[in-house]
Amino acid sequence: MSTKHIGKQTVILQKPPSIVAGASVVGEKEGNGPLRRCFDYISNDSYFGEKSWEKAESVMLKQCFSLVANKARIAPSDIEYIFSGDLLNQCVGSTFALRESGIPFFGLFGACSTMAEALSLAAIFIDGGFCDCAAALTSSHFCSAERQFRHPLEYGGQRPPTSQWTVTGAGALILKSEGPGPYVTHITTGKIVDAGVTDANNMGAAMAPAAYDTLKTHFEDTGRKPNDYDAIVTGDLGGVGREVILDFFAADGMDLSSILMDCGLLIFDTETQDVHAGGSGCGCSAAVLASHLLPEMTGGRWKRLLFAATGALMSPVTTQQGESIPSICHAVALDMNREC
């Protein structure tokens, strides 16, 4: 076992890399939500000037990538690696967004956990001395996701109360070996957990066991307790999944209710925005991290954050074939103090 590895699934970074910039681009509905003042750009055109929603998603992600490079005050050519993926079949949101970037590219598929996966890999590359600067990004688009995973938009299918609303949004981060923080200090990489849930309209319930598994392992591996964090933020369990994970921890005698937030509940007002159980999609946790969670840290309100993005690793075909929903959750600890 290497010295950087502690417990079962966690690595401690020796020279914690700094997130030096984050950027977010979202759609109109997200721009009307509680975080409306936090996003870098809100588009009122769901097509982002393009002729299809798939092209729109790529343009949105490309715009977000330009924004984050500008905010970090670096030329894209100074970025040594990009880690990116998305929900579209064959991850074409990312590949078409970045095809002109000229930057070495690692394509990822982690469903809605993608930002945590990309952030983990970018931090590990820098900590390991393989590069000094890397980008982590991802996107989702309500319309491209809806027609791929569910129904044609025109069909107007009814949505059950447990369903979540795919966020139209992109998030991007730039990490460097040196910077003012937040620093990536610990990474707990998730294993796939399949609790047997088969209802593709209840992703929160399907993903909650994976989030519980990773968070529990993180606490065991690090010896930390929930209250050692100013916030623990999952993404995206929504209202249903959040209740499930709180129940799991309650059975262990741990009350996380005051500290556990969820990106899917932060980005929308579930009372007024008709999103049922909350937001979802790769872009949800990515945009919330870039627009809201990181500024809470750099603004001095939070010193330590555990970001735990969750993904449902199914496809419409597996659901049609009667399969349950394998899920995953990757947790990344961020700290304003590099020597934590």
Give me the residues that bind its own copies (CB under 8 A), please: 1-5, 9, 11, 51-52, 54-55, 80-81, 85, 87-92, 95-96, 98-111, 117, 120-121, 124-125, 127-132, 177, 189-194, 311, 313-318, 321, 323, 326, 328
Please state the closest distance from residue 60 (CB atom) to its own copies, in A: 16
Phi-psi region of 252 (alpha: psi -120 to 50; beta: other; left: phi over 0): alpha
CB of 138 to its own copies, least distance (A): 12
Q: Which is nearer to its own copies, 55 or 292 (CB)?
A: 55
End-to-end CA distance of the chain: 22
Choice between 81 and 302, CB closer to its own copies? 81
Beta strands in 18-75 (DSSP E): 18-26, 41-42
Tell me the closest approach of the beta carbon of residue 235 to its own copies, in angstroms.
16
Q: Which helix (H) or strand (E) holds 327?
A: strand 327-335
The nearest distance, CB 313 to its own copies, in angstroms, is 4
Nearest alpha-carbon partner for 226 in 242, 215, 239, 210: 215
Query: Closer CB to its own copies, residue 36 or residue 155?
Result: 155
CB of 169 to its own copies, least distance (A): 19
Task: Pull the structure tokens for residue 328.
Answer: 């995953």
- Cβ proximity to its own copies: between 12 and 173 the closer is 12
Task: Kindly report the length of the chain.
Answer: 340
- Under a CB-based contact definition with an 8 Å cutoff, are residues 172 and 290 in contact? yes
CB-nearer residue toward its own copies: 128 or 180:
128
Rounded least distance, CB 6 to its own copies, Å? 11
Give the sign of the dihedral formed by CA 87, CA 89, CA 93, CA 94: positive
How far apart CA 271 and CA 111 sit, in angstroms, is: 26
Give the side-chain half-sphere CA count within 13 A for 302.
Answer: 24
Q: Which is nearer to its own copies, 264 or 326 (CB)?
A: 326
Whole-number Å distance between alpha carbons of 204 and 214? 15
**Rounded Cα–Cα distance for residues 177 and 183 (Å):** 9
DSSP assignments along 242-264, one per residue = HHHHHHHHHHTT---TTTEEEHH
Query: Measured from the CB atom, is 134 or 294 closer to its own copies?
Result: 134
Beta carbon of residue 222, minimum distance to its own copies (angstroms, whole number): 15
